[in-house]
Amino acid sequence: MNDRPDIYRPDTAPELPLDPDTDAVELATGRSLPVHLRPTSLLLVIAGGTVATLVRELIDLALPRPGGLPVSILLINLSGALILGALLEGLARRGPDEGRRRSVRLLVGTGVLGGYTTYSALAADSAKLLLGGDALLGLLYPLATLLLGALASLGGILLARRIVRAVDAAGSSGAARSPGSPGASADADAEEAGA
């Protein structure tokens, strides 16, 4: 009987695509190690998260809390959602999640933005508002954060999509058209219609 965890078993369905975080690397023993257990991946996430957590705390301490409302945490979570949406869309449009793209995703996406954003502080601040007697604000604050965060993430995705298309169009035409040049508007409309 094999007492090894599932991560050491061979792929039983090689015809199916792998999750990018389960991409296997062969070890000297012939067994495979998934991405999320590789020391280099872990170090990238830890390094990014450590720095960003400090930055988040400094921002939180620097901004006032008018009426007890944790505006700093709201702004941190919304800006993080926007940046994460843009980052992941930009990386996905540039190719498969491997090599440098994977390292950037782990360092910036999981590490930096994972340490920068904070849903634990959102939960704690919401509880403080609720227990402090402001039930309406205690309920609206997390709800608004989640809804606005989803919209910010969508905004980041759309922004990255637009930037990547513009960069690709500029690169494929040999010379970038300025937004006001003849044909630029028609090209953008044609791209949007094709999306």
Question: Which residues carry a binding-site annotation?
Answer: 114, 117
Average pLDDT over residues 139-157: 97
Helix pair 71-94, 39-62: axis angle to 10 deg: 150
Answer whether residue 117 shows pLDDT above 60: yes
pLDDT digits (tens, 9 = 90+) for 13-25: 666 655 555 555 5
- Of 30-34, 51-55, 123-127, 148-152, least confident by mean pLDDT is 30-34
CA-closest candidate to residue 117, choices 73, 153, 51: 73
Question: What residues form the annotated binding site for Na(+)?
Answer: 114, 117
